[in-house]
Amino acid sequence: MRKLQVMEQEYLNTLSQAFIDKSPGAESALCIQCGTCSGSCPLAAQMDNSPRKILALIRDGCLEEALRSKSIWLCVSCNACLTRCPRGIPVPDIMYRLRVLALQHQMPVKEHKMPDLYQAFVRQVEKRGRVNEARLAVRYGFSHPRDLPGHLGLAMKLLKKGRI
């Protein structure tokens, strides 16, 4: 059991170093922890780890914690953090790479539904080159059938207004 934990930790350390060695992961090492990214993020209050903390986790080799954070799924790539960062660190790019790594290593946050929506979105773009909102809603809706009744009322309102 102990040997397995050591092997897992070695793997995660290697993964952390590989992430840091590749751009934009290397730029996380340039972070001076000023907090400007977190202060300018419109969704920081909903995040479990602020953008500043995500960068610190990466730099400190705690990549697994960063990958399991719901914060990487909440980033909407508005670039507010990037435009205000005194070091020009591309936080949205780093968040995107973390999402990709989380999916590759099957580490999406279990209580958060954004990974499913993200995958449905990416599949559509890969298949068709663009996103059709109705198809995206259907694909995402079928991945969460318990949520369908709650969304049905909204769908009917949008349909009546000609928005779908």
Answer whether 54's CB lies under 8 Å from 98's CB. yes
Task: Specify the pLDDT at position 23.
Answer: 47
Structure-model confidence comparison of residues 143 and 15, the more confident one: 143
What mean pLDDT is predicted for residues 65-91? 91
Sequence-ordered alpha helix ranges (H) in 75-144? 80-84, 91-104, 114-128, 133-143
DSSP secondary structure letter of residue 22: S
Cβ atoms of 74 and 92 closer than 8 Å: no
Q: Mean pLDDT, to the nearest integer, of 71-89?
A: 92
Distance CA 131, CA 133 (A): 6
Burial label for 122, CB within 10 Å (0-12, 13-18, 19+), is middle
User: Which pLDDT value is given to residue 20?
Assistant: 57
Q: What is the pLDDT of residue 21?
A: 59
Dist CA 110 CA 88 (whole Å)? 32
CA–CA separation, 100 and 95 (whole Å): 9
Q: How many CB atoms lie within 10 A of CB 95?
A: 23
How many Å apart are CA 61 and CA 1, to the nearest integer? 22
Lowest mean pLDDT among 9-13, 31-35, 40-44: 9-13
Which whole number is the average pLDDT over 121-130?
A: 86
Q: Which range (12-21, 112-121, 139-148) has the least confidence? A: 12-21
Q: What is the pLDDT of residues 133-153, one digit of tens each?
A: 878 877 777 776 777 677 778
Query: What does the pLDDT read at residue 37?
Result: 94
Predicted pLDDT of residue 24: 46
| Single pTM value for the model | 0.66
Joined tokens for residue 110: 């279990």
* pLDDT score recorded for residue 29: 81
User: Domains (ranges, CATH) in the chain?
Assistant: 1-109 (1.10.1060), 113-164 (no CATH)
Region 32-61: mean pLDDT is: 92
Q: 116 pLDDT exceeds 60? A: yes
pLDDT of residue 17: 62
